[in-house]
Structure 1
Amino acid sequence: MNSNLSIRKVWSIAISVTFLVASCSDETTIFENPEDNLVKETNQLKLDNSVSFERAGVLDIYEDPISSAKRYNATGKAEQAGDYPLTLVAQIAPPSFENGENLTATHVALNGDYGYVSYNTVGQDYVGAVDVIDISDPNNPRVTSRVYFTNADLNSIAYDAGYVYAAGGVDSEKSVTATANSVVVKIAVSGGRLNTSDITFGFQEGFNATDVSIMNNNVIATSGQDGFVVIYDKNDMSILNEASFADLRSVAYNGNEIAVLDAAQGVSFLDQSLNVTRTIGIESDFGIDAKRTLDFSNDNIVVAEGSKGAGIYNANSGSFVEYLPILTSPENAEQGDIVTNGVAVNENVLLMANGAGGLSLNENTTDNTQGVGVIELTGSINYVASKGDYIFAASGKSGFQIIKLNRPTQSLVSSCENLASFNGDSRYSVPAGEEQAYSGSKRFNSLTVEGTLLLCGSWTVKDDITINENGVFEMNGTIVVGRTNRSRDIVVKAGATLRIEGSVSIYGDLILEDGATVEFLGDSTIAVIWGSVVKAGSATVTGTFNDYFNKF
């Protein structure tokens, strides 16, 4: 999906605005605690059933064929183990209720143990929702709160200091309080629960509010199609300043200055008084009413430019740096649906939400940005957010998907620093009689151990791990094997040893043959077995550990 607002909806709004106002707004109307047009979901079972683990587990990355050819074909070597051992934690289905059956995920905000998700409706209906998701347990995310908006689309969301701020559009003709069609909603949230008794609505001109962000003690919101960038006082949502633009799509704040994306001309940098300090002219086709975002990345700014991919510009000089193309075009996808809708930066990772083209991962290096590949996800990816060890990808009618980066902790990195970094085949085998030890963070296709292998770091294995007779496999850190819809096993054969300190997740079975040994070390080791523990009579399991699903 590459549009948040249908043509019919735009014209409907245009007509209503004609009757409501004839000039630019000079104030924002605030309404305190109106709970009309809000429905709070009270059925916890319905919220629980929104979470699906059907495809949870190891994610592959379909690598850029050009860079893959350079690395593999030119050398004649087997495919190497890949970087970025990602796992899909879960998928969250979009909300559905009477007269609200076509909601799509539009935006995600991450803070601490919670993710906050906004939804809208494609077409002329104004229906939206907000979800709160508890991600404190990476093995069991939960939807803890949901509010339906029966007369408002929500296109963007932000969180700050106990409040959610959502921006979208409202049908002012059906509202007794709305004075314009662009709305910013402030809702209290505590312990993962939305409180609709503590809510403030603000309305500003423009056909639809497109984005919202937090700037110190203020809130910034943009509205498109003859709209404004508006600064509100975060405490009472009173207007502090506003400036008009032709067609705003997104806003970003880097701690010093504001950047807005205007589809009519490009990027404008503003001071905190909303004076334009400089601009970057961009002639890309940003589409009609399509979601497009921008994000700061160190000294650069990254812009979602539709079919061109992502454009990177120097934020200080405005000079063009490079384009990041959309890496793959899936078969049978409409070319017009393969567009970059959103971008997100998390340390050295740059993510691109490419609609039907999926979610691509790029790596920022000292000199440039290298395309890694497209993450193995389902659905059209309309928006992406990433913070800490998580990626949230909004997938339209598929809801959104929670991805774990599985980055090693700093303490784990320190404990592994004396080991050589792994740089070997994706289908790796340790021969009998050999002792090998490595650190790192890699994606394997399979592991076979006949000698002794120590891995320290974060690892995923797409297929099985087999520890053959008298082999020893030791793992310090995190390892994940298989996925729910493609179950794979760890097999420990006769006389072999599996030694774990950290976390092991198996989307399949742990099979222990006669004489096999599993040793859990440390005080906080966890074993997450989605299948079964198949244990022969003389196999042994020792140590203290958290048997997450009680399979031992």
Structure 2
Amino acid sequence: MNRFARVGLLGMLVGAAVSPAIATTCVDYATMTHWVSMIDGHDPVDVAVDGQYVYASYTYDIYACGLNVIDVSDPANPVVVGQAATTAQFAFGLAHDGNYVYVGGYESGVLVFDVSNPAAPFLAATENTPGATRTAAVQGQTLYVADDWNGLVVMNISNPLNPVTLGSVSFGDQAHGVAVQGNYAYVGGADSGFQVIDVSVPASPAVVGSYDSAGFAGAITLDGNLAYVGDGVAGLLVLDISTPTSPTFVTQLDTDGYAETLTIHGTTGYLSDNSNGLLLLDLTTPSNPVITDRVQAPINWAGPSVVNGGFAYLAVGSGSTKGIHVVDIGNGTTAPFDGALDTPGHAEQVTVVGDLAYIADKSSGLQIVDAADPANPVILGTASVRDKAYDVAVTGGRAYIADGLGGLRIFDVTNPSTPALLGFLDTPGKALGVALLNVAGPFEYAVVADDGTLRVIDITNPAAPVDAGILTIPSYGKDVEVEGRYAYVSRSFSGMTIVDLIDPTSPVEVTTYDTPGLVCAIDVSGSTAYLADGNRGVRILDVSNPAAPVELGLVNTPSFAQSIEVAGNYAYVADGQGGALVIDVRDPAAPLSVGSLEIAGFGEGIGLSRTHIFVVSGTAGLEIAPRQCDAVTSAPGVAGAGTPFSLSVSPNPFASSTRVTFSLTRPGPARLDIYDTAGRAVAERAEGAFDAGTNTLRWDGRNASGRPAPAGVYFLRIVTEEGAATEKAVRLR
């Protein structure tokens, strides 16, 4: 573990006594709602899902738009399998029906795409409208089109290749959303609010009711006698439509953002809010919807979303990671933080040693925080710097600060309440990163990323540190990590440079590895390097031959990977406005996002104690959460256990049945239990004795009553005399 000077995970640290944790122990983030993956979808505008395929309309540029077909049979690795481009000016909302997708082509009218072959979708027909088509809804053989200033247009699509306009009605405002139920179409009428249109006579649709909403009425979701309206900055509007001609107010939920599209499953709502990401709502009492949780989206911008088979698919049409983002709904909750602390400055980076967190707080210098009780962290001491504290390394009762234009500052922190300046060295550049080099026993050198140079500083006498070796690195160096004799330096847009420090007085560049993103931070463990590559996610490299790094795997992140720490089987990432992520790196060739944390600010730095994650996010300060359990994922309400044998589920996701394969070290009985996300037993399949070696049990997708279990997330648990293990599986509809 290369960061023991920064993170304090190993017992080699001086004075690193660890008190028992008072707050929450480890958490299995994989069972909770979390971000999973994304795929570039140009500028996606709307989404629909059917089985293993997501359909996304996109507008890449004027006269460059169309439809993407994305295979999400493996939600962690979505793949664009088909694309149909058009010369239409825009592609907006869409409706999917069987082999066809109807897309609002704005001034090009309705665009009809044939998706009977997902790998080869094509534009099959168009139908012009008097206005500018924004979106549509299908009921039977009729298409209802929100046609901007032209209001609602009704079309016959009994022959999808030849849509025929039957009638239209305007109401003096823009039609932005539409939903249909029975003889009524409900239209989001922008500034004029919610419009009710009688479509019992398709050739003569008529406005028969309305409700003037407080915001900008757009997407509409119907649930029995209730209409949920995405009302922009006014939040989510709930209306009673039991008498369609006279919709009445039920309630308005302020989301403190811009409410867009709601999907309802049972009593849970999933609301995309382009200022807050994906909001989870408890709709048990429609007159009192409650926001129960949130999954952050990149730059907090989430467009329309759909939910299917335990996953939500969000169209994110803005920012550096625009595309289709996949969220695992899990058990409908996200992990809470144990504690938080506002720092006086801008919290940039954090290092944890024992119970103490050392925060580089920019202009406010070094903040030393007592986190013995993670639920109640307290600032013990503060040390001022000349410029701004960007990074901190700690060992042996000393803290080494990368002080920007102030160079390297060294503090005595043996008494954390009164840190004292021991010495400093002004550097010619801007010191942004610091790590420590152990040559012969105690650390003798500080390695500083100083803008265009890497400086190896002799700290044998902390009162008078001096340059020992200097290497010019012609790029902006933000972070530096030391593992063994090598330093790994982030070069922002130029990737990572590996430097040989076997002679600290004469550092030698070994190689530079370029990446497509912006390398903000590096962590190295043994012969593996983990790169936080900005908007290109996390990259894992084999550096066993430092002269020739080889990329092993890549995992995208929802926003901007800023900082990374690796411990055990997991990497922990501060991801800008994507919050904090937990990534399973047991297979470096296939890293997998298994958890995410909503944070108050912009995730900039991350550190680890033996039991907790420490995330710093600028002006939002410090937040502390439990670490991921290093045991196997367990079903809610079911005690976890170690894994004395291997376990796999295939196919996963599955439509009708799946196989659970497991291995035993000796003959013995085994039982397969199936749980839902609430921890309720769905089915149990008891078997007799199994042989040592590989064995298989099958679940036919049915519950204990023999009826097909609904689509969603399940936990398949094998129980044996040797122990128990659990894997998550997704049943498609």
Superposition TM-score, scaled by structure 2 size: 0.42
The answer for the alignment partner of 1:267 in structure 2 is 194
Match of 1:351 among 256, 263, 270: 270
Give me the whole-angstrom Cα distance separating, in 1, the residues matched to 2:593 and 2:323.
24
CA contact (8 A) 2:75 2:326 kept: no
Task: Please give the secondary structure, in 1, of the residue aligned with 2:92.
Answer: strand
Give me the whole-angstrom Cα distance separating, in 1, the residues matched to 2:673 and 2:277.
40
The answer for the alignment partner of 1:392 in structure 2 is 313
Q: Does 1:187 align with 2:113?
A: yes
* Cα distance, 1:304 vs structure 2: 1.0
Residue type matched to 2:149 in 1?
Q
CA contact (8 A) 1:344 1:384 kept: yes
Pick the structure with greater CA Rg. 2
Distance 1:143 1:293, change over 3 A: same
Distance 1:150 1:524, change over 3 A: farther
Give me the whole-angstrom Cα distance separating, in 2, the residues matched to 1:89 and 1:517.
37
Distance 1:260 1:483, change over 3 A: closer
- Structure 1, unmatched stretches of 5+, are 1-75, 96-103, 170-180, 328-337, 409-421, 428-460, 466-478, 506-514, 526-539
CA contact (8 A) 1:249 1:293 kept: yes
Provide the alpha-carbon RMSD of the alignment.
4.6
* Cα distance, 1:129 vs structure 2: 2.1
* Cα distance, 1:373 vs structure 2: 2.2
Q: Does 1:164 align with 2:83?
A: no
* Cα distance, 1:501 vs structure 2: 7.2
Give me the whole-angstrom Cα distance separating, in 1, the residues matched to 2:645 and 2:581.
20
Give me the whole-angstrom Cα distance separating, in 1, the residues matched to 2:271 and 2:594.
26
Distance 1:491 1:303, change over 3 A: closer
Using CA pairs under 8 Å that are at least 6 residues apart, name the structure with larger relative contact order, 1 or 2: 1
Q: Does 1:324 align with 2:221?
A: no
* Cα distance, 1:266 vs structure 2: 2.0
Give me the whole-angstrom Cα distance separating, in 1, the residues matched to 2:235 and 2:193.
15
Distance 1:395 1:464, change over 3 A: closer
Match of 1:108 among 47, 61, 65: 47
CA contact (8 A) 1:306 1:339 kept: yes
Residue type matched to 1:266 in 2?
G
Distance 1:279 1:302, change over 3 A: same
Q: How does 1:1-400 map to 2 (within 5 A)?
A: 85-95=32-42, 104-121=43-60, 125-169=62-106, 181-196=107-122, 199-206=124-131, 208-235=132-159, 236-246=162-172, 247-269=174-196, 270-273=198-201, 275-276=205-206, 278-286=208-216, 292-317=218-243, 318-326=247-255, 338-366=257-285, 368-379=288-299, 380-397=301-318, 398-400=322-324
Distance 1:519 1:354, change over 3 A: farther
Task: Please give the secondary structure, in 2, of the residue aligned with 1:151.
Answer: coil
* Cα distance, 1:303 vs structure 2: 0.7
* Cα distance, 1:345 vs structure 2: 2.2
Give me the whole-angstrom Cα distance separating, in 2, the residues matched to 1:78 and 1:490.
15
Give me the whole-angstrom Cα distance separating, in 2, the residues matched to 1:523 and 1:361.
28
Distance 1:350 1:489, change over 3 A: closer
* Cα distance, 1:128 vs structure 2: 1.3
Match of 2:630 among 468, 486, 490: 490
Residue type matched to 1:262 in 2?
G
Residue type matched to 2:116 in 1?
S
- Residues 175-231 of structure 1: per-residue CA shift (max 9 Å, x gap): xxxxxx2410112112413443x611110011x211111110111111112444232
Distance 1:496 1:158, change over 3 A: closer
Residue type matched to 1:166 in 2?
V
- Residues 16-74 of structure 1: per-residue CA shift (max 9 Å, x gap): xxxxxxxxxxxxxxxxxxxxxxxxxxxxxxxxxxxxxxxxxxxxxxxxxxxxxxxxxxx
Distance 1:83 1:483, change over 3 A: closer
Give me the whole-angstrom Cα distance separating, in 1, the residues matched to 2:183 and 2:222.
11
Give me the whole-angstrom Cα distance separating, in 2, the residues matched to 1:517 and 1:376.
47
Give me the whole-angstrom Cα distance separating, in 2, the residues matched to 1:230 and 1:182.
16
Task: Please give the secondary structure, in 2, of the residue aligned with 1:155.
Answer: coil
Distance 1:364 1:80, change over 3 A: farther
Give me the whole-angstrom Cα distance separating, in 1, the residues matched to 2:134 and 2:178.
9
Residue type matched to 1:351 in 2?
Y
Residue type matched to 2:145 in 1?
A
CA contact (8 A) 2:69 2:80 kept: yes
Give me the whole-angstrom Cα distance separating, in 1, the residues matched to 2:26 and 2:181.
37
Give me the whole-angstrom Cα distance separating, in 1, the residues matched to 2:142 and 2:70.
25
Give me the whole-angstrom Cα distance separating, in 2, the residues matched to 1:500 and 1:200.
52
Task: Please give the secondary structure, in 2, of the residue aligned with 1:138.
Answer: coil
Residue type matched to 1:257 in 2?
Y
CA contact (8 A) 2:176 2:187 kept: yes
CA contact (8 A) 1:344 1:352 kept: yes
Answer 1 or 2: which has greater helix percent.
1
Give me the whole-angstrom Cα distance separating, in 1, the residues matched to 2:693 and 2:630.
14
CA contact (8 A) 2:37 2:593 kept: no
Distance 1:277 1:167, change over 3 A: closer
Distance 1:214 1:145, change over 3 A: same
* Cα distance, 1:389 vs structure 2: 2.4
Give me the whole-angstrom Cα distance separating, in 2, the residues matched to 1:110 and 1:352.
16
CA contact (8 A) 1:502 1:524 kept: no
CA contact (8 A) 1:345 1:351 kept: yes
